[in-house]
């Protein structure tokens, strides 16, 4: 019979020798594996900032608070340039109302005419009014505190009879008496003067608006009528510049100036059919003599350059018809949209107008013999005196009919003929009128039914001084508003795209734009119109340059979510494996350390 073991097979030894040896450790666990795991993990952590630094987007700091402050200031307090108005009553014999009474009457009428909402660029209610009553022999009565200065009326400086001379002489006489060549520059804006002279024996009333900053009324006129006429001249012409369109903010923004503040005036002479005749012009003389004063006058509101070309074989697109009663080939207002032949008129050849510059085309069209003379018929059936038209923001076209329209057709057709100087002067007088229309003024005040009681003197600059003042004021306010809008858009764009590159050059442009805007605001407050227009033009140009910087336009910026979606497919698995390996190794080391600690404790107890 077999030997039976004392141990119960159903209850085996819970600590067999091989199992007991697996839960006990006689040697201290090594740290090599732990150190390797930790070194790999910390190497990953240390390298992560270098990776983030290598993918960091450079952003030059922008003055967001200054941009917001400029926008809020312009919205809450729109710039209103100051103006100084002066009414002078020449009364050699005395009599009539006092200076203070007349000042109150004129002030009330001016406030009624201005209204509650001043137009952009106008002085609005930011004006100062003074009235002087000159009784002759140096005796003067002035309204208010009796302020006097080099720009105010010099008592007894001009005799009433001197106002009866030729308009040009009187204009220069008043300009000399009221202070010229910069003497009128002050901190309250330019001074605009209306002189009322009652001349005995003079029938009717003669009203003249000079090319400087003054007007004069000569003849019989009552005080009430004089107050109304003075108000009309002050508000309609001196304050608003005689502009017809609504100049309120957001309306009537006739600003044919490029985003970079530059304008190219491109003059083209088109010979429709050189087989009939070929005409040329001396544009260098035109530029030096006729255009230079205009360009100089508009310099504060635009950087203007000029260019010219002569084209051949340039027929028009529209069709004209012969009218025997009018004695010419007729094209009407309905034909104007089809007059410019875009396929044959290669006008857009300027390399100076690349990018964000603005180009204004002025075309002198010489018709062929078959359609000469070519006449523009107005809707009332009359023939246009200028024989030209404009296209807003594009330019203008003049049809010039040569004097040889009805000459012998067997003449020398291929001889290059220069346009006579007299004809050039007439042509460019019309072109300047078209330029005035493009800038929102009337081409001229001749035969204007609304101002038939007032005679206007023209300037060789194309714009009178009071028109230029209004233009400077308008462009200063418009450029400041445009600058603030552009900078605000740039600020919102940069803040909405954290991954957007902002170069140092953009930061400098924004900084200089804010400085120029501050200078423009200060000059506007002081009433220095041309300086405020020039500074505002610079501010707007710099703001546009910053917004359209190549570093912004050439890169497509993504959000942070897109940025993480690019790198997560690599870093998520790697980081997950490293973390799991570290956790596993730490757990193993602690377990082995516990075994060794147990063995050491048992060994110490047994001994």
| Cα distances (angstroms) measured from residue 67 to each of 120, 178, 231, 258, 512 | 22, 42, 39, 23, 12
Q: How confident is the model at residue 253 (pLDDT cuts 50, 70, 90)?
A: low
- What pLDDT, on a 0 to 100 scale, did the predictor assign at position 455? 87
Instruction: Decide: 360 and 395 in contact? Cβ < 8 Å.
Output: yes
Q: 3-class SS at 46? A: helix
How many CB atoms are closer than 10 A to CB 8?
Answer: 8
- What pLDDT, on a 0 to 100 scale, did the predictor assign at position 182? 45
Query: Helix 64-76 vs helix 465-496: angle between axes, to the nearest 10 degrees?
Result: 140
Q: How confident is the model at residue 20 (pLDDT cuts 50, 70, 90)?
A: very low
Q: Tell whether the torsion through CA atoms of 339, 344, 345 and 351 is positive or negative.
A: positive
**What is the rounded average pLDDT of the residues 168-187?**
72
What gap in Å lies between CA 27 and CA 7, rounded to an integer?
33
Locate the domains of the chain by residue range.
Answer: 2-54+559-606, 83-247, 262-439
Range with the lowest mean pLDDT among 193-202, 461-470, 588-597? 193-202
Q: How confident is the model at residue 6 (pLDDT cuts 50, 70, 90)?
A: very low
Range with the lowest mean pLDDT among 22-26, 504-508, 517-521? 22-26
Question: What digits encode the pLDDT tens for the residues 27-63?
Answer: 888 788 888 888 888 887 887 777 667 666 777 888 9
User: What does pLDDT average to over the chain?
Assistant: 81
Specify burial of residue 77 (Cβ count, 10 A radius: 0-12, 13-18, 19+). exposed
Pairing type for strands 214-219 and 205-209 reads antiparallel
- Looking at per-residue pLDDT, the higher value among 444 and 477 belongs to 477
Is 248 a residue whose pLDDT tops 60? no
Question: What digits encode the pLDDT tens for the residues 565-598?
Answer: 777 777 778 788 888 888 888 888 888 888 888 8
Q: How confident is the model at residue 512 (pLDDT cuts 50, 70, 90)?
A: very high
Q: 3-class SS at 362? A: strand
What gap in Å lies between CA 463 and CA 441, rounded to an integer?
9
Residue 246 CB contacts under 8 Å (≥ 6 apart), including other chains:
119, 252
Is 183 a residue whose pLDDT tops 60? no
Range with the lowest mean pLDDT among 18-22, 68-72, 128-132, 567-571? 18-22
| Cα distances (angstroms) measured from residue 201 to each of 88, 134, 194, 216, 367 | 21, 20, 21, 17, 54
Task: Point out which residues pair with 130 in neighbouring strands.
Answer: 86
Backbone angles phi, psi at 352, to 5 degrees: -80, -20
Q: How confident is the model at residue 414 (pLDDT cuts 50, 70, 90)?
A: low
What gap in Å lies between CA 432 and CA 295, rounded to an integer?
11
* DSSP tag of 519: H
* DSSP per-residue codes, 422-474: HHHHHHHHHHHHHHHHHTTS-S--TT-GGGTTEEE---TTSS-HHHHHHHHHH
Strands of 328-332's sheet, edge to edge? 321-323, 328-332, 374-377
Is 479 a residue whose pLDDT tops 50? yes
How many CB atoms are closer than 10 A to CB 93?
Answer: 9
- What pLDDT, on a 0 to 100 scale, did the predictor assign at position 100? 86
**What is the rounded average pLDDT of the residues 122-139?**
80
- What pLDDT, on a 0 to 100 scale, did the predictor assign at position 4? 47
Residue count (the chain): 607
Tell me what percent of the residues of the chain surpass a pLDDT of 90: 15
- What pLDDT, on a 0 to 100 scale, did the predictor assign at position 149? 60
Instruction: Decide: 345 and 311 in contact? Cβ < 8 Å.
Output: yes
Backbone angles phi, psi at 492, to 5 degrees: -65, -40
Question: What digits encode the pLDDT tens for the residues 132-176?
Answer: 888 877 677 888 765 666 667 877 777 777 777 888 888 888 888
Q: 3-class SS at 543? A: helix
* DSSP tag of 190: -
Q: Tell whether the torsion through CA atoms of 370, 372, 377 and 381 is positive or negative.
A: negative
Question: What digits encode the pLDDT tens for the residues 360-407?
Answer: 889 999 998 888 888 988 888 888 889 888 888 888 999 999 887 765
Q: Tell whether the torsion through CA atoms of 354, 357, 358 and 364 is positive or negative.
A: negative
Structure tokens at 322: 């012969």
Is 355 a residue whose pLDDT tops 60? yes
CA-derived radius of gyration, the chain: 42
In degrees, rounded to 5, the angle at the alpha carbon of residue 239 between the alpha carbons of residues 434 and 111 is 140
Q: Within 55-191, where are the H helices?
A: 64-76, 99-114, 167-177
pTM of the complete model: 0.80
């Amino acid at each position: 019979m077999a030997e039976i073991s004392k141990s119960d097979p159903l209850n085996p030894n819970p600590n067999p020798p091989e199992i007991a040896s697996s839960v006990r450790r006689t040697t201290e666990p090594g740290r090599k594996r732990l150190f390797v795991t930790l070194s790999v993990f910390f190497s990953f952590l240390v390298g992560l900032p270098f990776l983030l630094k290598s993918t960091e987007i450079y952003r030059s700091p922008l003055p967001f608070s200054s941009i917001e402050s400029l926008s809020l200031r312009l919205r809450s307090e729109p710039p209103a340039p100051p103006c100084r108005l002066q009414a002078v009553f020449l009364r050699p014999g005395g009599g009539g109302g006092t200076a203070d009474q007349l000042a109150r009457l004129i002030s009330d009428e001016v406030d009624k005419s201005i209204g509650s909402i001043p137009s952009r660029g106008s002085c609005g209610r930011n004006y100062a009014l003074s009235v002087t009553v000159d009784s002759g022999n140096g005796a003067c009565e002035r309204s208010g505190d009796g302020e006097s200065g080099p720009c105010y009326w010099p008592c007894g400086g001009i005799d009433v009879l001197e106002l009866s001379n030729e308009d040009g002489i009187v204009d220069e006489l008043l300009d000399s008496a009221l202070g010229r060549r910069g003497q009128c520059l002050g901190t309250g804006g330019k001074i605009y003067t209306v002189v009322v002279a009652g001349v005995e024996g003079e029938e009717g009333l003669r009203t003249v608006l000079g090319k400087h900053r003054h007007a004069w009324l000569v003849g019989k006129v009552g005080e009430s009528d004089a107050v109304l006429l003075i108000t009309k001249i002050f508000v309609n012409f001196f304050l608003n510049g005689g502009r017809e369109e609504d100049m309120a903010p957001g309306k009537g923004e006739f600003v044919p100036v490029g985003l970079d503040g530059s304008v190219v005036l491109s003059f083209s002479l088109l010979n429709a059919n050189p087989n009939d005749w070929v005409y040329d012009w001396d544009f260098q003389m035109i530029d030096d003599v006729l255009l230079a004063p205009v360009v100089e006058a508009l310099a504060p509101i635009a950087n203007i350059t000029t260019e010219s070309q002569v084209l051949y074989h340039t027929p028009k697109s529209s069709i004209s018809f012969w009218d025997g009663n009018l004695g010419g080939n007729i094209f009407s207002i309905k034909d104007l949209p089809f007059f410019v032949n875009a396929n044959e008129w290669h006008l857009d050849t300027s390399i100076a107008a690349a990018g964000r510059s603005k180009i204004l085309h002025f075309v002198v069209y010489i018709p062929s013999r078959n359609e000469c003379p070519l006449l523009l018929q107005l809707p009332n059936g009359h023939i246009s005196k200028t024989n030209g038209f404009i296209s807003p923001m594009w330019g203008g076209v003049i049809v010039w009919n040569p004097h040889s329209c009805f000459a012998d057709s067997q003449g020398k057709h291929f001889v290059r003929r220069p346009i006579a100087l007299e004809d050039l002067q007439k042509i460019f007088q019309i072109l300047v009128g078209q330029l005035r229309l493009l800038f929102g003024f009337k081409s001229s005040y001749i035969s204007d039914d609304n101002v038939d009681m007032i005679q206007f003197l023209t300037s060789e600059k194309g714009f009178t001084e009071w028109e230029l003042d209004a233009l400077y004021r308008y462009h200063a306010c418009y450029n400041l508003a445009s600058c603030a809008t552009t900078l605000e858009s740039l600020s919102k764009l940069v803040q909405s795209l954290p991954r957007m590159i902002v170069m140092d050059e953009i930061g400098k442009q924004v900084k200089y734009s804010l400085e120029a805007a501050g200078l423009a605001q200060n000059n506007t407050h002081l009433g220095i119109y041309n300086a405020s227009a020039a500074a505002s033009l610079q501010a707007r140009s710099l703001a546009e340059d910053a917004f359209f910087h190549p570093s912004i336009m050439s890169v497509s910026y993504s959000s942070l979510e897109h940025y993480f979606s690019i790198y997560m497919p690599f870093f998520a698995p790697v980081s997950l494996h490293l973390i799991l390996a570290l956790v596993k190794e730490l757990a193993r080391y602690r377990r082995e350390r516990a075994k060794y600690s147990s063995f050491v404790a048992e060994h110490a107890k047994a001994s």
